[in-house]
Structure 1
Amino acid sequence: MSVMDIYVHLSSVYKMPLVGLGTYRVRGRDVIYTVIDESLNSGYRSFDTAAVYKNEEDIGYALNKLLPKYALSRSDLFITSKLSPSDNGDPQRIRESVLRSLKWLGTAYLDLYLIHWPGASGMSENSQQNPELRNLTWRTLVEIQKEGYIRSIGVSNYNIKHLKELLQNSYGVIPAVNQVECHPHYSQKELIDFCKREGIHVQAYSSLGTSDPTALLKDPVVYSIASDINVSPARVLLKWAVQQGIGIIPKAVNKKHIKENVELNFMLTSSQMETLSNLPQQKYAWDPTNVF
C-alpha cells in the first residue's frame, strides 16, 4: 500500500491523510501553482497552511485552477489552516480569521483548523492570562465547528500541560490533532504517548529539521541507515515518523523532492527505529515549554 493511501481516523469522525504537503515559507503565486500542480500529480491530497504563512490566497487560486486538471473535487482534499497567535482569545477576530481563510482558500469549509500557538502575540510567555485566552479561543472554535465552517479542530505546539488543561475544559470536543515539531533529534515520546492515550493524532512538522537544515539530514546515524537501505536521509526521517503512525507535512518546492518525499514504500527495522529514536535530542523550532 502506498503511503498516500493511508488515512487516520480522527476523534471528530473525519479521516485525514497521514501525509500532506507543508507550505511554510512557500510564497509567490507562480511558485505555489507549480508546487500544487506537482503535488496533486504525485498524489498529495492534504495541504497545510496558516494565517501567518500569508499564502492562503495563492493556494486557493492554484487549487481552483488545478482540480479540474486532475478530475478532482473539493471533497477529495483535506485542507488545514491555523489561527494566528495575534488573534488568540478574541472571539470576533477568531471568527474573522476563519472566514478570511475560507474566502482566500476558496472553500466553504476547512477540514482542520488549529490553534497555532498556546500563547498570544504581544503577551509575556509567563502571563497568567494565557490559560484564559486559550480557553476562550477553544470555546469559540467549538462554536464555529458546530456551525459547519470547520470539520475538525485541534492545536499546534501544545505540550502535555497545555493539553491536560484543555481536556479539563474542552466544551465536549477534544483536539483532533496536535501538530508539533517531531523528528529523531526531538522524538517527543512522552507527548506522543500522552496523545495516543487521549485519542489525539500527532502530526509532525520540521521532520527534516529547520534552523540548521544540514544538522539532522547529515547526522552520521541517519546517513548510515540511509546508505544501508539505499534511500535518501530525508526519506529515512519521514519513514521514521509514518512507521509510528505520526502524520507528516514535508515542505518542498523542488519537483524531485515533492515526489521523493512520498516514496516511502520500505520498512525500517525495529533496531533502526530504536537507534533513530534514541539520538541526542535537539529542538530546532518554536519552544512552548515556558508558555504558562
Structure 2
Amino acid sequence: MSYAWQLSNSSIGVGFGTAALGGNTYDVVTMALESGFRKFDTAEAEWWYDQGEVGRSLTDFFTKKDLNCDNLEISTKIPPWSLTSFSDIRLHASNSRQELVGSCEDIYPEESQEGVPFPLDVYYIHAPQCWKGWHPRCDNPPSTLDLRDAWKAMEAVVGLDYTSKRIGLSNIHPNELLDIIQFVNERIEGGENNPTPRLPDAVQAHSDPIDTSRELRELCLEYNIEFVSYSTLGTQHRNVPENPVLTSTVVAHIAEKHSRSVAEVVLSWALQNDMSVIPRSSKKGHIEELSRLLTSPVFLDSTDLEAMETLSSDYIGEL
C-alpha cells in the first residue's frame, strides 16, 4: 500500500506552540483546545517541551468530550542527538505518534479502504546537528547521521511507516535546505523508490517583522514548502531592553486602527506573507484572543503591510 499524503501551502494557518510551558503544559493545552485550537506544535526535546503532557491533554479532552480526531493536526520534532541511525529515527517517530495521537481511531485514506494508524501532521528534524550551548544534551552528543542520511530515514517515516502525513526541517539554513532539495531531486531522477524521495513539506524557523528570514522563506515559496514561523512576536530579540516588535509604534497604530491586539497584528502580518504561525501563551485571556485568528486571520490592508515592511529596514543595522 502507498499513502503519499502531500499538502500544498493551502495548509498555512494558525496553530498553538507548546514550548517552555513546563508544569503548566497540560492545563494550557486544555485551555487552547477549549478555545478552538486543533493544530499543535511540540517536540521530543525535554527541558523545553513536555510532549507527554501534550499527549495526555489531547487524550483526556477528546475522550471526555467523545470527539473524533478528524481535524487534529499535531506536529513534533526529533532532536539532533537522536539522529543516530535509520531505525532509531523511525522508532522515535513511531513512539511520538503513539504518545501524542495514539488514542485516535485509525483513518482510511480516500484511495484505499485499508486503515492506517492516525498519523502525526508533520514530523520534523529539530536541527540538522547539535551545537554547544543549544541544549544540555548537545554538550556531549553521540555520533549521529549526516543530514542527507537522516533525511532518508525521515522519508521512510512518511513513505513506509505512515507515522506522519508530512516531514520537515527546523532551524535550517538556506544552503542546507538547498542541499536536501538537490539530494532529493537527484534520487528522483535516478529512479530511487525505497523509500520514495520526498522534498520537505514544511520548514520551521524564526521569522518576525524585524528579522524576517526572507531568503529561507523565498526558497520555501519557490518549492511549495510550508514555512512555519516561530517566535513571530519578537521574542528572539534578547539583547535589547524591550521587545522591539511588541513595542513598535507602527504596530501599535495598526492595532488601534483595527481594534485588535498588537499580537494579532503581527501574526496576521505573517499569515498574509505566506507563513503559518504557532504562537503560545499560558494566560486564558491571551489564548482566547489568539483564537480569534482561527476565524478571522487576515485583516491587514495594503497600507498596513507596507508600514510593517519598514520595521525590517529600520532595524537592519541593529540585527
**What code does the residue aligned with 2:15 have?**
G
> Which has more radius of gyration?
2
TM-score (norm 2): 0.76
Which of 152, 161, 165 lines up with 1:151 in the alignment?
A: 165
- Which ranges in structure 1 are unaligned for 5 or more consecutive residues? 1-9, 125-129, 288-292
| Structure 2: distance between partners of 1:35 and 1:200 | 29
CA contact (8 A) 1:17 1:78 kept: no
> 1:39-60, CA deviations, whole angstroms, 9 ceiling, x for partnerless residues?
1222111110001134111111
| Structure 1 residue aligned with 2:278 | 249
Contact persistence 1:217–1:234 (CA under 8 A)? yes
Kindly provide the amino acid, as one letter, of the partner of residue 150 in structure 2.
T
> Aligned partners of 2:212 and 2:101: how far apart in 1?
36
What's the CA shift string for 1:75-133, capped at 9, x where partnerless? 32101000101123532432332233223324243221011112235699xxxxx9971
Q: Is 1:141 matched with 2:154?
A: yes
Match of 1:278 in 2: 310
3-state SS of 2:312 partner: coil
CA distance in 1, matches of 2:265, 2:166: 30
DSSP-derived class of the 1:35 partner: helix
Could you tell me which residue of structure 2 aligns to residue 119 of structure 1? 129
Of the three residues 212, 223, 232, the one matched with 1:207 is 232
The answer to whether the Cα contact below 8 Å between 2:271 and 2:277 also exists between their aligned partners in 1 is yes
Q: Go from structure 1 to structure 2 and tell me whether the alpha carbon gap of 1:62 and 1:132 turns closer, same or farther (over 3 Å shift).
A: closer
Residue matched to 2:183? 169
C-alpha deviation, 1:70, in angstroms: 4.0
Q: Which digits, 9 at most, give the CA deviation of each residue in 1:175-214, with x for residues without a partner?
A: 0001111110112233222211101011110011214473
Give 1:224 shift: 2.1
Count of matched residue pairs: 269
- The superposition leaves residues 139-172 of structure 1 with CA deviations (integer Å, 9 ceiling, x where unpaired) of 0111122211122101112222111100111252
Query: Which residue is equivalent to 2:22?
Result: 27
8 A Cα contact 2:12 2:274, kept in partner = no
Query: Match of 1:236?
Result: 265
What is aligned with 1:5? none
Map of 1:187 onto structure 2: 212
The question of 1:268 aligning with 2:293 is answered no
Match of 2:6 among 12, 19, 32: 12
Distance 1:70 1:182, change over 3 A: farther
Give the TM-score normalised by structure 1: 0.82
Secondary structure of the residue aligned to 2:20 is coil
Whether the aligned pair in 1 keeps the contact of 2:120 and 2:164 (CA below 8 Å) is yes
Q: Tell me how far 1:218 sits from its aligned partner.
A: 0.6
User: Structure 2: 5+ residue runs without aligned partners?
Assistant: 103-116, 135-142, 188-196
- One-letter amino acid of the counterpart of residue 50, structure 1: A
Change (3 A) 1:219 1:168: same
Bigger shift: residues 131-140 or 75-84: 131-140
Tell me if the contact between 2:155 and 2:198 (Cα under 8 Å) persists in the aligned partners. Answer: yes
- Given that 1:207 and 1:248 are in contact with CA atoms closer than 8 Å, whether structure 2 keeps it comes out as yes
2:91 is the alignment partner of 1:77: no
Give the whole-Å Cα distance in 1 for the aligned partners of 2:133 and 2:146. 11
Give 3-state SS (helix, strand or coil) of 2:203's partner.
strand
CA contact (8 A) 2:18 2:49 kept: no
Runs of 4+ in 1 over 3 A off after TM superposition: 13-17, 68-71, 120-124, 280-283
Match of 1:156, as an amino acid? S
Change over 3 Å in CA distance of 1:186–1:122 after alignment to 2:
closer
